[in-house]
Amino acid sequence: MRPLDGIKVLDFTHALAGPFCTYHLGLLGADVVKIERPGFGDDFRHYTAHGGLKMMSGPFIAANAGKRSMTLDLKAPAAREVIRRLAARSDVVVENFRPGVAKTLGLDAASLHAINPKLIYASISGFGQTGEMRDWPAIDHIVQAVSGLMQVNGEPEQDPLRIGIPVADTFSGFLAAYSILAALLQRQHTGTGQVIDVGMLDAALVMMSQIIPGVALTREPPKRSGNRGFRMVAGSDTYKTRDGFICVGANWPPQFEALCRVLGEEKLLADPRFSDDAGRVKNTVALRAELARAFADKSAEELEAKLAAAKVPAGKVRNLLDAMTHPHVVERGFFNTTDVPGLKEPAMLAGAGFQFAHDGPVRKNAVASLSQHTDEVLTELGFSGSDIDGLRRSGSV
- Taking only the tens place, the pLDDT of each residue in 382-394 is 999 999 999 999 9
Q: Categorise residue 39: left if φ over 0, alpha if ψ from -120 to 50, beta otherwise.
A: left
pLDDT of residue 227: 82
Range 8-207+333-393: architecture per CATH: 3-Layer(aba) Sandwich (3.40)
pLDDT of residue 47: 87
Question: For 240-269, what is the mean pLDDT?
Answer: 96
- Taking only the tens place, the pLDDT of each residue in 30-84 is 999 999 999 999 999 998 777 778 899 999 999 999 999 999 999 999 999 999 9
Q: Which CATH code fits 238-319? A: 3.30.1540.10
Chain-wide mean pLDDT for the chain? 95
Beta-carbon contacts of residue 258 (< 8 Å; ≥ 6 apart): 250, 307, 310, 311, 312
Residue 226's pLDDT band (cuts 50, 70, 90): confident
Residue 284's pLDDT band (cuts 50, 70, 90): very high
Beta-carbon contacts of residue 3 (< 8 Å; ≥ 6 apart): 28, 29, 359
What are the sequence ranges of the domains in the chain? Answer: 8-207+333-393, 238-319
**How many Cβ atoms sit within 10 Å of the Cβ of residue 310?**
16
pLDDT of residue 64: 97
- Taking only the tens place, the pLDDT of each residue in 298-321 is 999 999 999 999 999 999 999 999
The C-alpha atoms of residue 227 and residue 279 are separated, in whole angstroms, by: 22
Beta-carbon contacts of residue 105 (< 8 Å; ≥ 6 apart): 74, 75, 97
How many residues would you count in the chain? 397
Catalytic site residues? 169
Long-range pairs for 58-63: beta carbons < 8 A, 24 or more residues apart: 59/16, 60/19, 60/367, 61/338, 61/340, 61/347, 61/349, 61/367, 62/23, 62/349, 62/350, 63/16, 63/19, 63/20, 63/23, 63/173
Closest CA to 61 of 275, 346, 319, 293: 346
Closest CA to 239 of 274, 266, 263: 263
Query: Could you tell me the pTM of the whole model?
Result: 0.94
- Taking only the tens place, the pLDDT of each residue in 168-196 is 999 999 999 999 999 999 999 999 999 99
pLDDT of residue 362: 87
- Between 252 and 71, name the one with better pLDDT: 71
Q: What angle do CA 256, 260, 261 make, to 5 degrees?
A: 115
Residue 204 pLDDT > 90 = yes
- Taking only the tens place, the pLDDT of each residue in 104-148 is 999 999 999 999 999 999 999 999 999 999 999 999 999 999 999
Residue 330 pLDDT > 90 = yes
Closest CA to 123 of 85, 92, 147: 92
Query: Phi and psi of 249, rounded to 5°?
Result: -135, 55
pLDDT of residue 365: 81
